[in-house]
Amino acid sequence: MTSADIVSATDLVRRYGEGEAAVNALAGVTVAFAAGRYAAIMGPSGSGKSTLMHCLAGLDRPTSGSVVVDGVELSSLDDRRLTELRRDKIGFIFQSFNLLPVLTAEENILLPLSIAGRKPDRAWFDELVQTVGLTDRLKHRPSQLSGGQAQRVAVARALVSRPAVIFADEPTGNLDSKASAEVLELLRRAVDDLGQTVIMVSHDPEAAAVADRLVVLSDGLVVEDRATQVAVA
C-alpha cells in the first residue's frame, strides 16, 4: 500500500466451513486501490469478487490477512468502532437500491447524515442533486420513481457524507440499458468531477469498461489486474 491508496488488502483469506468441507472464497488476495480512481472487480460466479468487496468494506471479517481503509486496520476494531467506520468513511450502492419506502428521495439521500447526527452541507447537497439530475424528484417517494431514478437516489445517498470510498455491488443489475448507462456515467462523474473513489463489483464487461482499472478474480485469487482504456485515454 502507498500513501495514495485509500483501501488495501494483504494476504486476504476468507474460509467457509471446516475440515474437508472448507472452501476458500478468498485464497490469499493482496490488492490496493488508489484514492480518486474508479476500479471494477469482475470474475465468474463463485470467484470471490463479492466476498472481497464485503471484506474490504468491513461487512465481513476475513479468516486471516489484513484490510486497511483510509489508514485504519479493520481487524483492530470492535463491532461498534467498525460500524462507526462504515458510517463515516464508506458509502454503499446496492443492486436493489435499498431505499426506505416511507421516506422521500431527499430524506433517503440525507439518511446517513441523520443517523450520524450530522447536519448536511447544503451547498454539497445541492451540487449532488444537480449532478444526479433529481432536482424535480426530491419530494417523491421510491414508489414514484423509475428504477434509474431510484438508483440515482442511492448514488447521491452514498456520496452525501463525502466518504473515503464508495463500494458499488452490481449497481446496474436491476436496470435497463439506458438507466444503466446513466448510472455508470454518474459514477464516472463522481470520480472525475467530485473527486470520489469508487470500487464496483460487476459481471457486465460494458459496465467495467467505464472504470480506470479492472481487477479479475478466479477461484479466490487475482488473475488479472490492469488499467482500462479510460485510464489511458
Place of cell 468487496: 53
List, for residues 67-117, the tens digit of each pLDDT value: 999 999 999 899 999 998 998 899 999 888 889 999 999 999 999 898 888
Residue 2 banded pLDDT, cuts 50, 70, 90: low
List, for residues 164-213, the tens digit of each pLDDT value: 899 999 888 888 888 888 888 889 988 998 889 999 999 888 889 999 99
* pTM score, whole prediction: 0.88
What is the predicted pLDDT for the residue at 229? 62
- Diameter of the chain by CA atoms? 57
Question: How far apart are alpha carbons 178 and 21 in whole angstroms?
Answer: 43
| Residues β-bridged to residue 100 | none
Contact 227, 212 (CB under 8 A): yes
One DSSP character per residue, 112-170 reads: HHHHHT----HHHHHHHHHHHT-GGGTT--GGGS-HHHHHHHHHHHHHTT--SEEEEES
Q: Give the CATH number of domain 35-61+75-232.
A: 3.40.50.300
The domain spans of the chain are 35-61+75-232
